[in-house]
Amino acid sequence: MQPFFVSEEKLARQAYRYDRRYRLAALILMIAILLQVPFLVLLYDQNRIRKEEESRGGFALQKEAQITAQLSSLNETEVQLARIKSWEPILRGRMPASAVLGAVEQTIPRDVVLSRIVLEAANYRSVSLNPGSFRVPATYTITLLGEQKVPDPGVWESFIAKLLSRLPPGSNVMTSKVGKDENPKTGLLTCRAVLQAQANGNYFPLGVNKVDAEENL
Amino acid sequence: MISDIQAFVRGMPLRFYLSGGLFSRQEPMISFHVGENEIEALVSYKRKPIGFEDELHRDPDAPPTMSYGQPYKPTANGRKVSAKLASRYHVPQRCQHLFVVDAPADEVFLNLFTLEKLRRRNVEEALADLRQAPGQILSGWSRNDFRWQILDASLRLSGNPKANSEDPILVMGLSESVCLPLEVWSDDQGAALVGILPLPVAVLAWCNAVLPTDQKHSIILVAGETGVVVGIIKERKLTNLLKVQTIEDALANVRRNAEEFALEDPAMYLWYSKPPTISDDELTQEGLTIIDQEHLRATLGTPLVLMQSTGKRTSHDGPIPHLLNWLAKQ
C-alpha cells in the first residue's frame, strides 16, 4: 500500500526500519559496537581500580595526618622518656647493697663468722646529664673480715668462690687470706677477702629480678 | 554523506532493531477505524485477521478521535495500547498502524480531475505541485495545511497511480489537524505508520475490489458520520464523485444527474458506519443494496472469526472488520 498521507519526515524515519541498506548499516554498526565491549569493560575496570587506588591513597594520607597529629601529642612523653633513659648509666652503676648482703647471707658457711662487711664505690667516671655532671662508680670493692671456727682454710675459700659466683659478671677476687689467730686458746682462724664487683647493671646473679614488661614499671 | 551517517546514527530505531526488527520480515498490523467518537481496531498478522476491538475508544491511550474541540493529550504513564493489543493477541510487539478516518467534511478534499484539466503532464508533477502550492493547481483553494495524494480511477491502493491526460484521477487532501495527531500518536507508540486513509476512499476501493463493479455500473453511497460520498464506478473505474450531506441528498442528486452519468441499469449500494435515520425498508425501496452483515455474508461467504478482547472467538460480518481486514492485506 502507498504511504497515504504520511509525512516525508516520518517516511524517512521509517526507511531506517525497513530499507535493507539501513538495516545492513545498523547491523555493521551494532557488531562494531559489540566488538568494543571488551575494551569498554577493560576501560571501566581500569577506571574503577584507579578510583579505588585514589580513594585508598586519600584514606592513607588522612590516616597519616591523623597519626602525625597523635604523634605530636606524644612528643612531650617522648622527651620525658628520653630524659629517663639518659639516667640509665647512673642507675646501672647503682649496685643494690641489700642484694649483696643477701648473697653473703645465703652463701656464708656455718663455721664462718663475719665481723665486718665494707662495700665501697670505686673507679668513678663522669656522666653528663641535663641538670649537670654526675660521678658514677664503675666498680665496687667488697671487703669481708671474719673468723673461721674450723682449721680447714678451704671453707673460707669455698665461701668466697660462692660469693663471687653471685656477683655481676666480670667481678673478681682481689685478695683472699686465711691466717692463725693471735690467741692460740681460741683456735680460730682470721679471714679476710677483698672482691671487686663490676657495676655493669647485670645484677641478676645477686637475685635481682628482671623487669619483663614496660607496663610492670 | 557524513551528515547522512550522523542523521542515521542519531535517528536509528535501536529499540526496534534490538527487539528483532533488524531481521523481521512481517510485522503485525493494527488497522484502526477512527470515527468522531468511536474507534475500532483489527489486529492482523501475516495477512491473517487475529483480533478485533470494537470499543477501543474506552482505552485511555486510544488514538485521537475526529471530534472537534478535544485536543489529543498523550498519556505519560501506563502501557501503550499497541503493546497491550500485541500481547493480548499474542503477536510481536513491533506493530504497523493503518488509520481509516471518518474525518469532518471540511477536513477532507476529494475530487475527480483529469491531468489535462489540472494542466499537468503526469501524476508526479501534479502531486508535487499540489504539495508545494495547492492554490495554483486548484483554483479557489486557500488552505495550506493539507496533505495530498492522488489515486488513479481504478482505486488501486498499492503501486504508483498511472493515468493518461484524459483519464480521471482522484485528488485527495487531508488536513494536517487530522494527520498530525495520528502520526504523533503512532510515533509515540513506537509503531510504523502505513497510511491514513479517508473512509470514503477506503470504502470505494474496497467495494471496487469486492463487488461486481466490472459487470454492472455501480453507484456506491458511503455514509460516514458527517457526510455522504457517492462514487460511480463503471468497469472498475471511478467516473464520478459527489459529496453531499445526507443519503436523501445523494439519491436526489443521482436521479437529477442520471443522464449526465449515463448509467445503464446501475446497482446501488449503501455502506454506512452508523445506521442512518431512514429505515432499511425505505432504503431498499429506493433500490439500494445495503452492505450490511447479511449482504456481506452472502457476498463473501465466510465470516471473519476473530478473537475479542475477552479472549472469546466470535464471527464478524460487520462492514468495518471486513473493510479493515481487506485494507490490511493491501
Supply the pLDDT for residue B66. 84
**Interchain contact, A2 vs B12, CB within 8 Å:** no
Question: Are A118 and A99 members of one domain?
Answer: yes
Task: Taking residues B247-271, report their average pLDDT.
Answer: 86
Q: Identify the band that residue B159 occupies on the pLDDT scale cut at 50, 70 and 90.
A: confident
Determine the 3-state secondary structure of B152 from DSSP.
strand
Domain assignment present for residue A57? The answer is yes
Rounded Cα distance between B163 and B125, Å, is: 12
Q: Which amino acid is at B248?
A: E
Report how far apart, in Å, the C-alpha atoms of B269 and of each of A102, B216, B304 are: 142, 12, 21
**Which residues from B are below 8 Å from A27, CB to CB?**
22
| pLDDT (mean) for B54-61 | 87
Indicate the pLDDT class of residue B70, thresholds 50, 70 and 90.
low
Contact list, B11 vs chain A (CB under 8 Å):
13, 16
Give residue B69's pLDDT: 54
Q: Do A100 and A201 reside in the same domain of the chain?
A: yes
The residue ranking higher by pLDDT, B309 or B38, is: B38
Which range has the top average pLDDT, A26-40, A199-213, B269-283?
Answer: A26-40
Query: Do A1 and B157 count as a contact with CB atoms less than 8 A apart?
Result: yes
Residues of B in contact with A23 (CB under 8 A): 17, 22
Range of the domain at A189: 95-206
- B98 inside 8 A of chain A by CB: yes
Choosing from A35, A54, A85, the residue where a domain stops is A85
If asked whether residues A116 and A199 sit together in one domain, one would say yes
| Cα nearest neighbour of B191 on chain A | A14
Q: What is the mean pLDDT of residues B25-41?
A: 92
| Interchain proximity A3–B9, CB inside 8 Å | no
> Does the pLDDT of residue B175 top 80, yes or no?
yes
The predicted structure's pLDDT at residue A172: 95
B20 close to A (CB below 8 A): no
Instruction: Tell if the CB–CB gap between B149 and A5 is shorter than 8 Å.
Output: yes
pLDDT band at B261 (very low <50, low <70, confident <90, very high): confident
> Which residue's entry shows cell 481504478?
B154
Whether A15 contacts chain B with CB within 8 A: no
| Contact status, residue B200 vs residue B230, Cβ threshold 8 Å | no
Q: In this model, does residue B275 exceed pLDDT 90?
A: no
Which residue is closest to B95 within chain A, CA to CA? A17
Q: Which of the listed residues A50, A85, A120 is the one where a domain comes to its end? A: A85
Contact (CB<8Å) B192/A14: yes
pLDDT in the model for residue B298: 82
B174 vs A: CB within 8 A: yes
Structural domain boundaries of chain B? 21-199+293-330
Do A63 and A114 reside in the same domain of the chain? no
- A72 and A142 in a common domain: no
Q: Which of B2, B8, B9, B93 to mutate to test the interface with A (most CBs of A within 10 A)?
A: B8
Confirm or reject contact between A31 and chain B (CB < 8 A). no
Check B21 against A27: CB less than 8 A apart.
Answer: no
Residue A212 lies in a domain: no
User: A105 and A202 share a domain?
Assistant: yes
Kindly report, residue by residue over B75-106, the tens digit of the pLDDT.
556 788 999 999 999 999 889 999 999 999 89
A14·B193 Cβ contact <8 A: yes
* Pair (A121, A66) in one structural domain: no
State the pLDDT at residue A185.
67
- Does the beta carbon of A40 lie under 8 angstroms from any beta carbon of chain B? no
Name the residue among A2, A5, A26 with its Cβ closest to that of B12.
A26
Which of A86-90, B81-85, B281-285 comes out lowest in average pLDDT? B281-285
pLDDT given for residue B192 in this prediction: 93
Alpha carbons A84 and A78: distance in angstroms, whole number? 10
pLDDT for res B20? 85
Whether residue A77 is found in the same domain as residue A103? no
Cβ-defined contact of A17 to B147 (cutoff 8 Å): no
| Domain membership flag for residue A216 | no
Share of chain B above pLDDT 70, in %: 97
C-beta atoms of A6 and B11 within 8 A? no
Per-residue pLDDT tens digits for A159-169: 999 999 999 99
* Residue B15 pLDDT class (50, 70, 90 cuts): confident
Tally the domains of chain A.
2
Q: What is the CATH number of the domain that holds A158?
A: 3.30.70.60
B190-202 per-position pLDDT tens digit:
899 999 999 999 9
Residues B210, B203: Cα–Cα separation, whole Å:
10
Query: Looking at the predicted structure, is the pLDDT value of residue B119 above 70?
Result: yes
The whole-chain average pLDDT of chain A stands at: 89
Average the pLDDT over B154-175 and give the result: 90
A214, pLDDT greater than 60:
no
Q: Starting from the edge strand earliest in sequence, which strands make up the sheet with B146-152, in order?
A: B108-114, B168-175, B146-152
- Answer yes or no: do A14 and A109 share one domain: no
Interface probe, candidates B194, B204, B323, B324, chain A, greatest A C-beta count within 10 A: B194
**CB-based contacts of B122, cutoff 8 Å, min separation 6:** B115
Q: Say if residue A200 is in the same domain as residue A110.
A: yes
Residue-level pLDDT at B139: 86
pTM for the model stands at 0.68
Contact B201, B209 (CB under 8 A): no
User: How far apart are alpha carbons B268 and A108 in whole angstroms?
Assistant: 153
Under an 8 A CB cutoff, do B17 and A30 touch?
A: yes
Chain A residue numbers touching B179 (CB-CB < 8 A): 5-7
Inter-chain touch B187–A10, beta carbons under 8 Å: yes
What confidence tier does B114 reach under pLDDT thresholds 50, 70, 90? very high
pLDDT given at position B214: 86
Whether residue A90 lies inside any domain: the answer is no
Q: Give the per-residue pLDDT at A213.
A: 53
Interface membership of B8 toward A (CB under 8 Å): yes
Quote the radius of gyration of chain B (alpha carbons, Å): 21
Residue A170 lies in a domain: yes
Distances in Å between the Cα of B314 and the Cα atoms of B33, B308, B327 are 19, 7, 21
Q: Do B330 and A1 touch (CB under 8 A)?
A: yes
Does B267 contact chain A (CB < 8 Å)?
no
pLDDT at res. A153: 85
Determine the residue of chain B that is closest to A29 in CA distance: B9
If asked whether residues A198 and A106 sit together in one domain, one would say yes
Q: Which of A127-136, B8-17, B232-241 has the highest mean pLDDT?
A: B232-241
Q: What is the distance in angstroms between the Cα of B14 and the nearest Cα belonging to chain A?
A: 8
Q: Which residue has the higher pLDDT, A144 or B24?
A: A144
Residues A101 and A77 in one domain: no
Tell me how close the Cα of A32 comes to any Cα of chain B, in angstroms. 13
Would you place residue B300 in the very low, low, confident or very high pLDDT band (cuts 50, 70, 90)? confident
pLDDT greater at residue B75 or residue B265: B265
Over residues A57-86, the pLDDT tens digits come to 999 999 999 999 988 989 888 888 888 888
> Which of A35, A63, A85 corresponds to the end of one domain?
A85
On chain A, the residues whose CB falls within 8 A of the CB of B187 are: 10
Q: pLDDT at position A192, please?
A: 94
Estimate the crossing angle of helix B319-328 against helix B199-210, to 10 degrees.
Answer: 80
Rounded average pLDDT over B179-208:
94
Number of neighbouring beta carbons within 10 Å of residue B244: 19
Q: Is there a contact between A191 and A148 (Cβ–Cβ < 8 Å)? A: yes
pLDDT at A183 over 90: no
